[in-house]
Structure 1
Amino acid sequence: MPNRSEERVVTPRLLRGWPLPNPEGGKTERGTVLVAGGARCTPGAVLLAGVAALRAGAGRLQLVVAEESAVALSVAVPEAKVVGLGPDGAPSDDILAMAAEADVIALGPGLDDIDSTIRLMRAVLGAAGRDTAVVLDAYALGALSKDPGLLPQRRAVLTPNLVEAGHLLGREPGDDLAAAAYELASRHDAVVSLYGHIATPDGECWREESGDTGLGTSGSGDVRAGIVAGLLGRGAEPAQAACWAAFAHAVSGQRLAPRYGRTGFLAREILDEVPSTIASV
């Protein structure tokens, strides 16, 4: 395993020296993002992740959720193509074709069953190209902890919380989250973003220090995963997308605090702050 570098703090100055791609042309130039998740009781997680991807600059959005939620979600997010899973949770041929053509696939938001998540991941990621960018969040990380072979793609970002990191590690992450992020990055050959600590498999590490307690609200992790996916869609590399997303997520929360207090804002309210936060850099 390569030596881990000292963490660099993610600041506007660092990000200005690492500018995001700004593709010209139509929406296809900014990438197609496919978000798959949304069990029957939690379709809103896919909504949050999908809209976050658009707010971060993705060009086209496709959403996959439980069949009974598909029509309602298509009305709630008219910018997206929305397709429902089959009655057994299996993806249709249409969904597999979408996966094969997507530039970015985000898996996990709103899923609630490990076995069905494993089946969905195996089918969708198996249909995708090996160089398709992938973001794994929530139950997709639990599935990965049971079967590391579920992720064949080379360009991947994992966005675990502390519980999910524990499942992936097989133990508690401990106090050194930078070390835990790097261990996971090395183990899964992916960029890992863990509570503001970002690590790559080759030992590069960063720390985002703007996050506050208000980000620990329901749906906030779905927003962060969606921002990563949107930045990947517009052409950012995985480490760049993870660092910019950690900053955009945290500072968007900071911008809401004067209106709602440190702990009073909602995850969906973070979404509208993301474009201006990114532009402010």
Structure 2
Amino acid sequence: MKIFTAQEIRQADEITVLRQDITSLDLMDRAANEVFLWIKYKFPDKETVFHIFCGQGNNGGDGLVVARQLHEAGYLVILEVFETGKPGSDFTVNLNKIKDAGLAYNTGESYNFKKGKLVVIDALFGIGLSRELSQDIKEVISRINSLKAVVVSIDVPSGLFLDRPTNFAVNSDIVLTFQFPKLAFYLSANCNFTKDIVVLDIGLDTDYINTTKSSYYFTDAFDAHTRYKPLHPHAHKGTQGHTLIIGGSYGKIGAVCLSAKAALKSGSGLVTAYIPECGYISLQSSLPEAMVLTSGKNNIENINFEFKPSAIAIGMGLGQEQDIQNALGNFFKLYNAPMVIDADALNILSYNKEWLKLLPENTILTPHPKELERLIGKWDDDFDKLDKIKSFSKQYRLIIVAKDSTTMIISNDDVYINSTGNAGLATGGSGDVLAGIIAGLLSQSYNPVDASIFGVYLHGLSADIGVKEISRQAFIASDIIHYIGAAYLKIEKEIHQK
């Protein structure tokens, strides 16, 4: 699913009005009606009190339509309208309809509601916000954030900028956004403003959507399905690739165990683990399906093997001692197989950045935030961070899987935002599993971009399925591996239902 800028969204609105021969007021009614239907379905209890905060632009006009529809449906509606600029013409039309419907506003009345029965609807500002908030509006938003209510924002949490950092906005529980997800929703600094996001289809012009280029994409189920490679009925282990997992050191063999098992579970036909001798017995006994090669006693001393792997994942639990760095440098000079670089190998690269030029094109790097910072340097904000990652990706022709609460995959100027996963993934070993999954997909002839995007999606989907049975708190990295099969089954079922 494409992610568009505010300017592109406004253009989509204008083209839709023109090509569908409707007015902007018709489009506002259509969008607001989708919000109303969703809210009515979500909160059917007529004892629910809706406190609606409206600005005077198009977002406020949406809020007025929703307020009127809820009032006419028999709900108790408390409506407040605030001066946020010059009233728009569509806003004015809908304010007159509010009066005609007999719904009073700005009455200053208090209200009584049962516990859990207050819903705040935020319709102060939408995608058009470009100026800093006035003190009066900040006080309104502070009041919204202090209410013990479910907060639903229409299109965008008020105060959130789409193209620059935001320091203060409505803390939304649910954002009902129109047609497209917005990049700002998925930036880590904005996590308090966008807890849950629902994209509502309001029927914008499909030709415009299909033909307008974007550099930002949201990996939903549909997109993940297009990248999935089903197992051929006549497949055998020789057709499904041979993944080599390189890593481990004394006390950190578990990282390689997780990666190797994840590679197998992702569908790799064969997996070999390359580890120091200290991990030989534990890996062979815990993962009999994998083959094992060794080098060195407690750390890998050199990297040399006599077969040609389909894909390699390297770095998990590897250590960063000088002899390991030397072995890694020699390895990068000799091997050019499709590769995933993770953990200690990333840190070693950050100390020896000249080695980045040795990596094969489309090598996949999977850093967490601190590893990323060591590679690209500090950033000022999330927008600056993305710019730096894109520059780094283009300079070295690499794919970056930037792990975070929302993981993003960056290849040149293209950014793919993952839709799956949850806080249960905040556990040691989760990244080792991801590296193994992506390497396993590479072995099965996924191209590097698809392996990264689908691998991250599959990893997160496994966690989404798993936490429903065992909770976020109790979820551990090996549980991700356990639920990979269920994730595959869900994907296949959804594809067959289309």
Same fold (TM over 0.5): yes
Structure 1 residues 90-239: aligned runs within 5 Å: 90-91=301-302, 95-98=304-307, 101-128=308-335, 130=336, 132-148=337-353, 149=355, 151-172=358-379, 174-176=381-383, 177-195=385-403, 196-201=407-412, 203-239=413-449
Query: 2:237 aligns to what?
Result: 27
Larger CA Rg, structure 1 vs 2: 2
151-160 vs 168-177, which deviates more? 168-177
Higher relative contact order (CA 8 A, sep 6+): 1
2:305 alignment partner, SS class: helix
1:208, 1:243 within 8 Å by CA — same for their partners in 2? yes
How many angstroms does 1:117 deviate by? 3.5
Q: 2:258 aligns with which of 25, 48, 51?
A: 48
58-67 vs 151-160, which deviates more? 151-160
1:30 alignment partner, SS class: coil
Query: 1:64 aligns to what?
Result: 274
What CA distance in whole angstroms lies between the structure 2 residues aligned with 1:50 and 1:96?
Answer: 17
257-266 vs 169-178, which deviates more? 169-178
What CA distance in whole angstroms lies between the structure 2 residues aligned with 1:28 and 1:252?
Answer: 26
Which runs of 5 or more residues in structure 2 are unaligned? 1-212, 492-498
Aligned amino acid, residue 266 of structure 1: I
In structure 2, relative to structure 1, the CA distance for the partners of 1:97 and 1:5 (3 Å cut) is: farther
How many angstroms does 1:280 deviate by? 2.1
What CA distance in whole angstroms lies between the structure 2 residues aligned with 1:68 and 1:174?
Answer: 43
2:314, 2:340 within 8 Å by CA — same for their partners in 1? yes
2:245, 2:312 within 8 Å by CA — same for their partners in 1? yes
1:198 alignment partner, SS class: strand
How many angstroms does 1:114 deviate by? 4.8
How many angstroms does 1:127 deviate by? 3.5
The number of aligned residues is 271
In structure 2, relative to structure 1, the CA distance for the partners of 1:172 and 1:260 (3 Å cut) is: farther
Q: Which runs of at least 4 in structure 1 moved beyond 6 Å after TM superposition?
A: none
Which runs of 5 or more residues in structure 1 are unaligned? none
Instruction: Indicate whether 1:254 and 2:461 are aligned.
Output: no
What CA distance in whole angstroms lies between the structure 2 residues aligned with 1:117 and 1:90?
Answer: 6
How many angstroms does 1:182 deviate by? 2.1
Q: CA RMSD in A?
A: 2.1
In structure 2, relative to structure 1, the CA distance for the partners of 1:126 and 1:96 (3 Å cut) is: farther
1:107, 1:137 within 8 Å by CA — same for their partners in 2? yes
1:216-244 Cα offsets, whole Å, 9 max, x none, are 10000000111100110101011101111
In structure 2, relative to structure 1, the CA distance for the partners of 1:278 and 1:113 (3 Å cut) is: same
1:222 alignment partner, SS class: helix
1:167-188 Cα offsets, whole Å, 9 max, x none, are 1012247423543442332233
2:446 alignment partner, SS class: coil
Aligned amino acid, residue 397 of structure 2: D
1:96 alignment partner, SS class: coil
119-128 vs 229-238, which deviates more? 119-128
143-152 vs 189-198, which deviates more? 143-152
What CA distance in whole angstroms lies between the structure 1 residues aligned with 2:396 and 2:421?
Answer: 26
Aligned amino acid, residue 225 of structure 2: R
Query: 1:13 aligns to what?
Result: 222
How many angstroms does 1:264 deviate by? 1.8
In structure 2, relative to structure 1, the CA distance for the partners of 1:117 and 1:179 (3 Å cut) is: farther
What CA distance in whole angstroms lies between the structure 2 residues aligned with 1:179 and 1:117?
Answer: 32
What CA distance in whole angstroms lies between the structure 1 residues aligned with 2:488 and 2:333?
Answer: 33
In structure 2, relative to structure 1, the CA distance for the partners of 1:214 and 1:76 (3 Å cut) is: same
Instruction: Indicate whether 1:89 and 2:289 are aligned.
Output: no
1:20-68 Cα offsets, whole Å, 9 max, x none, are 2645432121111111111111000000001101111111100011211
In structure 2, relative to structure 1, the CA distance for the partners of 1:111 and 1:5 (3 Å cut) is: farther
In structure 2, relative to structure 1, the CA distance for the partners of 1:226 and 1:174 (3 Å cut) is: farther
How many angstroms does 1:116 deviate by? 3.5
1:96, 1:123 within 8 Å by CA — same for their partners in 2? no
